[in-house]
């Protein structure tokens, strides 16, 4: 079988707390690991999407509405649906690793780093589809 869930691939979470949210695959484990003996991936996604912006809004209001709330999670392959989109993620790979999930303090620091990267990418106008809600 062809392996198509690779790092950089954008997917949609189907089950759980973040169902319907878009994620980007940071690292994939096709064969599983000792503690998780099934195919899974470390993903970083958008929990709260940025709000709509008009031309008439001021600079302060625009920055407030451009906030992104990220999340990181280990997800089973059965619970994500890959899309045709991709995302360059060299900086995200540095922020998230398998050891990030050991302590809550490491998790929060990596979330802050991802938040900064996502907001930077959103304000630059790249990957517009990734930062919009699904239409359902």
Indicate the burial class of 85 (C-beta count within 10 angstroms; 0-12, 13-18, 19 or more).
middle
**What is this structure's pTM?**
0.86
Question: Do residues 63 and 53 touch, judged by C-beta distance below 8 A?
Answer: no
Along the 136 residues of the chain, how does pLDDT read in single tens digits? 557 788 999 999 999 999 999 999 998 888 878 888 998 999 999 999 999 999 999 999 999 999 999 999 999 999 999 999 998 878 888 888 777 777 888 888 889 999 999 999 999 988 889 999 987 6
Domain positions in the chain are 9-127
Is domain 9-127 in CATH 2.30.30.770, yes or no? yes
25-to-45, 63, 87 alpha-carbon distances in Å: 9, 27, 9
What are the residue ranges of helices labelled H in the chain? 59-65, 90-95, 104-124
């Amino acid at each position: 079988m062809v392996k198509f869930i690779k790092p950089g691939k954008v997917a949609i979470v189907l089950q759980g707390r973040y169902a319907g949210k878009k994620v980007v695959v940071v690292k994939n484990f096709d064969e599983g690991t000792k503690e998780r003996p099934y195919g899974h991936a470390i993903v970083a996604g958008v929990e709260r999407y940025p709000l709509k912006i008009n031309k008439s809004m001021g600079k302060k209001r625009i920055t407030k509405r451009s906030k992104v709330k990220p999340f990181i999670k280990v997800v089973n392959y059965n619970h994500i649906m890959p899309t045709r989109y991709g995302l360059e993620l060299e900086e995200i790979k540095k922020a998230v690793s398998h050891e990030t999930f050991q302590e809550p303090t490491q998790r929060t620091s990596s979330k802050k780093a991802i938040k900064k990267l996502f907001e930077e990418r959103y304000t630059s106008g790249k990957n517009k589809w990734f930062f919009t809600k699904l239409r359902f």
